Structure 1
Amino acid sequence: MLHQALLNPRRIALIGASTDAARLTARAQLYLRRHGFAGELFPVNPRAADVLGERAYPSLRDVPGDIDFAYVLVNTAAVEAAIEACAERRVPVACVLADGFAEAGQEGLALQRRVLAAAHGGGVRLLGPNSMGIVNVPAATACSVNAALEAERLIPGRWSLVSHSGSVMGTLLSRAAARGFGFAKMIGTGNEADLTAGEIASLLVDDPETDAILLFLETIRRPELYEEAARRAHAAGKPIIAYKLGRSEAGAALATTHTGAIAGSDAATDAFLRACGIARVDMLETLLELPPLLLGARPAAVPKRAVRVVTTTGGGGAMVVDRLGTLGIATARMTDTTLAGARKDSVAAALNEARAAGDCDVAVAVIGSSAQFRPQDAVAGVLASQGPRPLAAFLLPQADASLQLLAEAGVAAFRTPEACADAVRSFLDWRAPRALPEPGDMSAVQALLPAPDEPRARAVFAALGLADAAVAVDPAAPPTLRYPVALKAVSAEIAHKTEAGAVVLNVPDETALRAACAEMRARLGSRISGFIAQPMVRGVAEAILGYRRDPLVGPVIALGAGGVLAEVYRDVVLRMAPVSAAEAMEMIAEVKGLAPARGYRNLPKGDLAALAQAVADLSRLAALPDVREAEVNPLIVLQEGQGVVMADALLSTGREDASGTAACHTSGHEEWPLV
């Protein structure tokens, strides 16, 4: 019922429809009629018997029969009453145009919550607030106020779009039209007080008119719905492609202001989308141009991250090769057919060889000037090529006719080398939805929470499986230790122990240990509750291992080059937690700073198996909602077969109370710098 009411309503009420055709609130009615809506419209306006030539109703209560969809066009202050009326009439879906809700501050958030409560009280699903509505091109339903619908004709297509931004919805509609193609469905979600992009994407998986789902995202709400949609889409062979704002801090801040959402780490979002099986693009152009490359394809289990390029222009081929190289994608071979030109047989033969080669993932055809003036001849070789590898094409000139021929044949075609490279990168980063490893029995770990200090944090990590060589130190009767040792004060108050002088390295013997304890006690007083010590060790590398429950996407695990410069270099790889040891080994391979531990230039290899197991063990914290952050820095990687050593440990726990404030307990020495 939701699918029909939201995506293909036949009886639509326009609450607050204006009699003035020049006003924004008149557009939905005008556009519905302009584009041929054959269903029933019910303008609701208490001050007019007629709205733009159609009978109007003074209230929703006066509208006869069932209503599939209500577009609420009234001002912000009147929205609550309008939704109450929808609840009274049991309207399945109500869409709210007005802004001034969660994105406007606490008062707006409170109003949004009241509106949502009123909707749910009557079984109404809410789209918005701040929503530009819905467009169903095959059904001629343009229930939106977006000015892009001024177009005389909407081109039907096989892709559907879900967008947080209404203006971007119109932007993509117009840009697609300029390329000669269109959409099946377009839905603007706005603030997502109720219906989210993830839930709507799941509905589109079941839509027979949709082959690919495009997302324009400013944030991520209810990540579990994205996961569900992505798994269902993968099973159905319908790729989901996302353009997500927030790559920069400034972009994240603007998106937060627009949608009234919390900001999360973009690196965590990237890991989340990849884990779900959602392809992410960096360029808006790529969002429109990538789908043919993914349609009918499956994510590569172990991509070679290499392409073969066949080009009729040396300069154009070099542009693509150069751009791919900046993204870490190798060119296994470039075949230049410049002297032969764009002859069908030579281009097709070269592309067939490229698509059959085992040293690449994708074949890229680059076509020069002939594409502009001789489109049929220019792309004939591309259209004739066959092979198991996917095919992408970059056209050097402005060549709309050639692009149209390629689009009609289902070939991904690009106007710029940057978009072509971005699409290939997105394709190679694309993964099947991950299989979640079982965390195992976590009762012993749970029993150790909360962890008010570093010894308890270490105990939690030890219960997870990480070896711990640290022991408690009683200065009056020190334990037997293997000197030299590192001595640290135990404190629930000192966040940065090195800066506070709460760490002493290379303590040579028991006498020096007693002296160091006495000096710390005298200087730090009641701020410390005890001491721990562990033998000094020298490994082949240092790693930073961190865990965090990201505010947008949930638990993530991070691995990077560790030590005191971890915050400077930020050489870090993230995955959604938990991960398996095999996934952890893939993470190790991606961290540049761990190259020495991998045996770079015949250096002694580190115990990568032990490091991978430590990553997997710490990631099991995902099963404990109370744990907000955890970190081991450095985690010292010893030589192969000798394990890893935990140096410093941090654990932060806490849940939000009724006011939304997090009660937190922290142990360790630093805040997690990774995401």
Structure 2
Amino acid sequence: MLQQLDRTLADNLLRPRSVAIVGASDDRTKTTARPLQFLRAAGFEGAVYPVNPSRDTVLGERAWPSLDALPEVPDHVYVLTNAEPAIATVRECGRLGVPMVTILASGFGEEGHEGEERQARLQAAAREGGVRLVGPSSLGVTNPRTGMLLTANAAFAEEGLPEGDVFVASQSGSVIGALLSRGKTRGLGFAGLVSVGGEADLSIGELCEATLDDPGIGSYALFLESLQHSTDLASFAHAAHAAGKPVAVYKLGRSEEAAALSVSHTGALAGADAESDAFLAACGFARVDHLEALIEAPPLLARLGAVGNRSTARVGIITTTGGGAAVVVDQLATRGVSVVAPSSATLQAMTDAGCPVAPSLIVDLTLAGAKHELVRSAVSIMQDSGEFDLVLFVIGSSARSNPELAVRAIAECADGATPVAAFALPDALATLELLHHSGVPAFRTPEACADAVAAALGRRAPTVARTWPTPEADGAVVLNEVDSGRLLQEQGVPVVPGVVIGLDEVAQVAGSLPVTFPVAVKALSANLPHKSDAGGVVLGVADADGVVAAVDAIVAAVREHAGEVELDGVLVQEMATPGVVDTLVGYRVSPSVGPVVVLAAGGVLTELYKDSTMRLAPVDEAEALAMIGEVRALGQLHGFRGGPRGDVEALAAAIVAVSRLAVDRPDVVEAEMNPLSVRTEGQGVVALDALVRVAAQGEQSSPSSSLSGTS
């Protein structure tokens, strides 16, 4: 058998010249009989070799006893056997020089220790033989453009599957079928659909990146259950952006459950889905919450480009049904997208064109205006006005009964200066298909429409790093407040100065402390990250006698609440001047997406309010300012109800400084300032408490030292 070596990964994946189906069944009712049936029904022109050592024929075709009996080395082998035989088949493929194998079987990494051991043997067999794997637990790979339906998914039994330019990759095999059937109903076709399964070898990111050179693929739709292999996704994000091919994502996990809690509040705020959200946004992906929006959004993404800020985007709505438009306005508002009213000049231009409308948030042509020339004129005027980033037409009853009126006119505006999209209030699938094929993104429900529009307007160029530091969290050590503060000071964040006193010297030195009263007295221990919870903080201490009493109270409280904790001493700090607002600025290295920086309302109620925002680290000043604008409680920084304005620029600088731990201190696993007090405008910020956790690397500096800073 001879093999040509000029084939790419994408060629073997989507355009194989020959395929073999190992374990093909002669029973048409079985899952393992589907791939052969689908390939034949779709008219796949390549060679197909059913492999079944127990039969001479399969579904009326010659069956081959083994792969090495074939007359050629197939480009792609689909293995339908159980797990152990699948490993043996991959080993045989490596020996023969088969470049691509897809595995249906489960029973690998998802099944505990035994499955992990089995997956390790599978990976070793592939690696040794130079075989690339899709799966395990893959329902297959399809390319509707060539009839290459190498899949066991029953949904592909349908006839008349439309072709398109959207490539779908999913970590769930059943979702592939769901998207296919929903797309067919909507008249939306696909350039390829791949069930990536367990990603033992080819990850969803690497697989998609390999297909970017395919001219028949214009955009991507990803269904994600997790963010394993996120570095590959990050690499794909940059490559897809460079290729001008947008990516829509549906990611499971929109719950309030956090990731495994860590020692800081930041760990609780940085829940698994919040991290996913920050990561996907930094990838420049458009994350949607409706499954239907996943297949309806790509045409809009391709038309809009990367806008970057949904809150400042300008959406103009034109309609022949005021009630339907109001529904869409409402759905957009709940997603942070504001509708912009047309200017008086635009309204006058419509009047001059014979389609006068009353001043309003929406351009309501009313039912009487559902006429071809009027609709076309009104849409064109809005597109040419320069006042909108997107014109959205909400079509009334004519979408179903008289599409030659408004619908045809909208379709003729597909290439206007400003992108136009449409939502049909009645159930009008023929109208949606007509608009789609004319180049107008069209939506069946107001929820999916608003979801896709919000996701598209929020999409920006990727900023995620392709790789990131991965300090070893196991065995990481927590620094006490003095050492934590010193590390943050080195990053450029001001901290409150203080003096450390040993427990056995409090009475002797309390009267000669180099501080100005009143002071705060705090328990000092790396093993007591949340001092307030254990009674380890006493504020507003007025004199030396108060310091002695405060230390006695702290020692007793810590003994009661955390008896096993030994204190390094106490930290005495001058009481800082009250600021405009207290914030939390945190940093952690997520095991799934890398370094993140978190901003939240500060203090002991941080986790209760859950008013926070997150970005991948590091960030620049512009991104830090955007974060400040997203935390509702920080609105008072701008002089709420006549109050003083806070030093927003200093807070942004502190966020940037902490985020740069990703670059400057890759050994830091976690860091937090809570509270970070924001003073009045021009007076800066100051960290009143600090917590840092670093990867273990030798002895830490002595805790019995002073902490310099400004208060």
Length-normalised TM-score, structure 1: 0.90
TM-aligned CA deviation for residue 430 of structure 1 = 0.6
TM-aligned CA deviation for residue 450 of structure 1 = 5.3
Counterparts in 2 of 1:252 and 1:563: CA distance versus 1, 3 Å: closer
Task: Answer yes or no: is the 8 Å Cα contact 2:231–2:466 preserved in 1.
Answer: no
Q: Identify the residue that residue 60 of structure 1 maps to in structure 2.
A: 67
Counterparts in 2 of 1:297 and 1:314: CA distance versus 1, 3 Å: closer
Matches of 2:258 and 2:396, distance apart in 1: 36
Q: Deviations over 1:444-472 (max 9, x none)?
A: xxxxx955322111121111111122323
TM-aligned CA deviation for residue 383 of structure 1 = 2.2
Q: Deviations over 1:285-320 (max 9, x none)?
A: 111111221214321255523421111011111111
TM-aligned CA deviation for residue 14 of structure 1 = 1.1
Q: Identify the residue that residue 493 of structure 1 maps to in structure 2.
A: 527
Matches of 1:2 and 1:96, distance apart in 2: 16
Matches of 1:8 and 1:437, distance apart in 2: 29
Look up the equivalent residue of 2:571 and give its one-letter code: I
Secondary structure class of the residue paired with 1:14 = strand
Secondary structure class of the residue paired with 1:158 = strand
Secondary structure class of the residue paired with 1:184 = strand
Q: Identify the residue that residue 647 of structure 2 maps to in structure 1.
A: 607
Counterparts in 2 of 1:381 and 1:602: CA distance versus 1, 3 Å: farther
Counterparts in 2 of 1:357 and 1:593: CA distance versus 1, 3 Å: farther
Matches of 2:383 and 2:199, distance apart in 1: 43
Q: Which of 650, 671, 675 does residue 691 from structure 2 map onto?
A: 650
Identity %: 45
Matches of 2:468 and 2:194, distance apart in 1: 38
Q: Identify the residue that residue 317 of structure 2 maps to in structure 1.
A: 309
Look up the equivalent residue of 2:457 and give its one-letter code: L
Q: Identify the residue that residue 672 of structure 1 maps to in structure 2.
A: none
Q: Identify the residue that residue 391 of structure 1 maps to in structure 2.
A: 420
Q: How does 1:496-575 map to 2 (within 5 A)?
A: 496-521=530-555, 524=558, 527-536=566-575, 537-575=577-615
Q: Which of 509, 512, 532 does residue 477 from structure 1 map onto?
A: 509
Secondary structure class of the residue paired with 1:465 = coil
TM-aligned CA deviation for residue 485 of structure 1 = 1.6
TM-aligned CA deviation for residue 117 of structure 1 = 1.3
Q: Identify the residue that residue 238 of structure 1 maps to in structure 2.
A: 245
Matches of 1:299 and 1:219, distance apart in 2: 25
Verify: 1:416 aligned to 2:445, yes or no. yes
Structure with larger RCO (C-alpha < 8 A, sep 6+):
2
Q: Identify the residue that residue 458 of structure 1 maps to in structure 2.
A: 485
Look up the equivalent residue of 1:319 and give its one-letter code: V
Q: Identify the residue that residue 350 of structure 1 maps to in structure 2.
A: 378
TM-aligned CA deviation for residue 264 of structure 1 = 6.5
Q: Identify the residue that residue 641 of structure 1 maps to in structure 2.
A: 682
Q: Identify the residue that residue 136 of structure 2 maps to in structure 1.
A: 129
Q: Which of 322, 327, 333 does residue 325 from structure 1 map onto?
A: 333
TM-aligned CA deviation for residue 44 of structure 1 = 1.7
Q: Deviations over 1:550-608 (max 9, x none)?
A: 22211111111111211111111111101112211111111111011122333211111
Look up the equivalent residue of 2:365 and give its one-letter code: T
For structure 1, which runs of at least 5 residues remain unmatched after alignment?
254-262, 441-448, 657-663, 668-675
Q: How does 1:216-295 map to 2 (within 5 A)?
A: 216-248=223-255, 265-295=272-302
Q: Identify the residue that residue 584 of structure 1 maps to in structure 2.
A: 624
Q: Which of 34, 50, 64 does residue 41 from structure 2 map onto?
A: 34
Task: Answer yes or no: is the 8 Å Cα contact 1:239–1:291 preserved in 2.
Answer: yes
Look up the equivalent residue of 1:414 and give its one-letter code: F
Runs of 4+ residues over 6 Å off in structure 1: 250-253, 435-440
Q: Identify the residue that residue 341 of structure 1 maps to in structure 2.
A: 369
Secondary structure class of the residue paired with 1:460 = helix
TM-aligned CA deviation for residue 84 of structure 1 = 1.5
Matches of 1:631 and 1:231, distance apart in 2: 30
Secondary structure class of the residue paired with 1:102 = coil
Q: Identify the residue that residue 365 of structure 1 maps to in structure 2.
A: 393
Secondary structure class of the residue paired with 2:515 = coil
Matches of 1:432 and 1:599, distance apart in 2: 33
Aligned residues: 642
Task: Answer yes or no: is the 8 Å Cα contact 2:83–2:105 preserved in 1.
Answer: yes
Q: Deviations over 1:104-163 (max 9, x none)?
A: 222212211221111111111111110011001111100000001111232211111111
Q: Identify the residue that residue 160 of structure 2 maps to in structure 1.
A: 153
TM-aligned CA deviation for residue 59 of structure 1 = 2.1
Q: Which structure has the larger Rg over C-alpha atoms?
A: 2
Q: Deviations over 1:495-525 (max 9, x none)?
A: 4311211111111122211332244345546
For structure 2, which runs of at least 5 residues remain unmatched after alignment?
1-7, 261-269, 342-361, 470-475, 560-564, 704-711
Look up the equivalent residue of 2:166 and give its one-letter code: W
Q: Identify the residue that residue 12 of structure 2 maps to in structure 1.
A: 5
Q: Identify the residue that residue 110 of structure 2 maps to in structure 1.
A: 103
Counterparts in 2 of 1:177 and 1:339: CA distance versus 1, 3 Å: closer
Q: Which of 628, 631, 649 does residue 672 from structure 2 map onto?
A: 631
Secondary structure class of the residue paired with 1:558 = strand
Matches of 1:360 and 1:565, distance apart in 2: 41
Secondary structure class of the residue paired with 2:253 = coil
TM-aligned CA deviation for residue 356 of structure 1 = 3.6
Matches of 1:470 and 1:114, distance apart in 2: 57
Q: Which of 584, 593, 611 does residue 633 from structure 2 map onto?
A: 593
Counterparts in 2 of 1:519 and 1:655: CA distance versus 1, 3 Å: closer
Matches of 2:258 and 2:55, distance apart in 1: 44
TM-aligned CA deviation for residue 355 of structure 1 = 2.6
Counterparts in 2 of 1:264 and 1:550: CA distance versus 1, 3 Å: farther
Matches of 1:600 and 1:517, distance apart in 2: 38
Of residues 160-169 and 73-82 in structure 1, the stretch that sits farther from structure 2 once superposed is: 73-82
Matches of 2:384 and 2:609, distance apart in 1: 40
